[in-house]
């Protein structure tokens, strides 16, 4: 499978600190948004991101380097299963200040290493490729709304 990596970025009209506060909520891209306030990424911690439409997804915080870098591992193709290296992808967020704005870059990798049939790996890549623009747009709207 040649589809192993998704890369997206957006420029957000909000401070680095504001965007960090949203990105540092583990599973923000898939969890029910009402469950997120008050959660903060701590390296090594795991949680389950509950989504009423798509299921429950295990998420583990891999690395936290405030306020510029966060890495999570999640089992997007295996909702409800325990998180393992062979059923999860790595999601990395890099935040860079550009004046009063923040550039947010997301890279999700590891689809080729998923222990699943080709169809399931391709489906996960396709679903997540379509999902990241929507999630980044939603995050951008939340960050910009709160920074006015």
Query: How confident is the model at residue 79, as a pLDDT?
Result: 85
pLDDT digit string (tens) for 103-115? 999 999 999 999 9
- HEC sequence for 80-130: CCCCCHHHCEEEEEEEEEECCEEEEEEEEECHHHCCCCHHHHHHHHHHHHH
CA dihedral 104, 127, 32, 51 (to 10 degrees): -150
Percent of the chain exceeding pLDDT 70 equals: 96
Cα–Cα distances in Å, from 23 out to 41, 102, 104?
9, 12, 9
> pTM above the 0.85 mark?
yes
DSSP state, residue 55: E
Asked whether the predicted pLDDT for residue 1 surpasses 50, the reply is: no
Query: How do residues 11-48 score in pLDDT, each as one tens digit?
Result: 999 999 999 999 999 989 988 777 776 788 999 999 98
Q: What is the CATH number of the domain that holds 86?
A: 3.30.530.20
Overall number of domains in the chain: 1
**Mean of the per-residue pLDDT values of the chain:** 92
106 is in which domain, residue-wise? Answer: 5-146
């Amino acid at each position: 499978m040649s589809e192993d990596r998704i890369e997206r970025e957006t420029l957000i009209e909000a401070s680095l600190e504001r965007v960090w506060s949203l990105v540092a909520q583990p599973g923000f891209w898939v969890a029910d948004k009402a469950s997120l306030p008050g959660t903060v990424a701590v390296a090594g911690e795991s949680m389950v991101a509950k989504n009423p439409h798509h299921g429950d997804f295990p998420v583990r915080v891999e690395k936290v380097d405030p306020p510029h870098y966060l890495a999570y591992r999640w089992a997007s193709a295996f909702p409800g299963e325990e998180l393992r290296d062979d059923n999860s992808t790595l999601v990395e967020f890099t935040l860079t200040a550009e004046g009063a704005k923040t550039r947010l870059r997301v890279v999700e990798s590891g689809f080729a290493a998923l222990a699943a049939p080709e169809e399931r790996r391709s489906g996960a890549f396709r679903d997540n490729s379509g999902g990241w623009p929507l999630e980044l747009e939603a995050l951008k709207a939340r960050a910009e709304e709160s920074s006015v």
